Amino acid sequence: MLSADQLISYAAASIDTCATEELQHRLSLYQVFLKLYEQHRGLLDEILNLENSGSKSLAGVTLPYVQGVVLDNTVHLTTNLLQGKTQMLFQPQQVWILGRDPHKASVAVQEGRLSRCHAAIHYIADKGFFLADLGSRNGSFINGERVWRSTLLKDGDRIRLGSLSFVFFLCQTAQTLEPLSPEMLAHQEVKQFLTHLPAGGYETRQEAGQESQPSRDDSVSVSVNSLQGTFTFMHLDADSQ
């Protein structure tokens, strides 16, 4: 049977072990967030913005991207970095400058850690799209690795320029799909969709952050049903770019 002193020593050792494990757990979390801060600052900023806004969904989150497109000897970039609107960007020399300076940068984005002319994406025929840092202060990174020389981009690469983060996609092929079969065109849901959609049978979505305003009849209906306690209406903002 253990003595009182042995029990006290055992309890103290257990407490020390738990405290050490908790300390190690917190230290590992700190190291994870430190690495995230250093290599994926933009992603961390988005997470913090979501936390601070108290948002319960990703309705107001824009997922930035740049897509390199090469089709029929035509080369361009498609991106939503400019005012959050998707655009196709054609450039005669096939060199796109990314930075803060709207007079010098092809893709001008107002980010505090982005240099005036931060980096360039350039296309080389039969080789692909390359990312090059233009001597920026805060560096350019591909999948967490800093770019020191012109580097070939691959589909799905995660790029960070200062605090600006986006995903690079690559499109080099296109398909012409087969026409819909008579059986599919005769399908009730498809037929109804094709028949009634042009006549106005469609729904519009609210911009992120906007709340729909119910009509007078809708307001009356909601009030009556709420008093009856039969059901509750919930409005979910639609997802938007």
Which range among 154-158, 196-200, 202-206 has the greatest average pLDDT? Answer: 154-158
Lowest-pLDDT range, 65-79, 113-127, 144-158, 192-206? 192-206
Q: Give the bridge partners for 79, in sequence order.
A: 66, 87
Measured CA distances, 139 to 43, 72, 113, 161, 171 (Å) = 16, 34, 9, 6, 26
Measured CA distances, 46 to 40, 72, 165, 205 (Å) = 10, 37, 10, 23
More confident residue, 202 or 139: 139
Q: Which helix (H) or strand (E) holds 27?
A: helix 4-39
Q: Are 182 and 33 in contact (CB under 8 A)?
A: no
Q: In 40-153, which ranges are continuous DSSP H helix?
A: 41-53
Residue indicated by tokens 């560096």 = 139
- CA–CA dist 77, 170 (Å, integer): 9
**DSSP code, position 210:** -
Residues 70-108 have pLDDT tens digits of 998 899 999 999 988 999 999 999 999 999 999 999 999
What local confidence, expressed as pLDDT, does residue 225 receive? 47
Q: Give the bridge partners for 165, in sequence order.
A: 160
Dihedral over Cα of 75, 79, 82, 87: its sign: positive
More confident residue, 8 or 147: 147
What local confidence, expressed as pLDDT, does residue 91 receive? 97
214 pLDDT tier (thresholds 50, 70, 90): low
Closest CA to 142 of 125, 129, 127: 129
- Reading the block at residue 174, the tokens are 């296109």
Residues 128-186 have pLDDT tens digits of 999 999 999 999 999 999 999 999 999 999 999 998 999 999 999 999 999 999 999 88
Please tell me whether residue 38 adopts helix, strand or coil conformation.
helix
Residues 9-58 have pLDDT tens digits of 666 666 666 677 778 888 887 777 777 777 666 667 766 766 665 545 54
Q: Is the pLDDT of residue 239 over 90?
A: no
Whole-prediction pTM value? 0.61
Dihedral over Cα of 88, 93, 96, 99: its sign: negative
For the chain, give me the number of helices (H) and strands (E)? 5, 12
What local confidence, expressed as pLDDT, does residue 241 receive? 39
Task: Enumerate long-range contacts of 6-15, CB under 8 Å, 24 or more apart.
Answer: none
Q: Are 214 and 222 in contact (CB under 8 A)?
A: yes
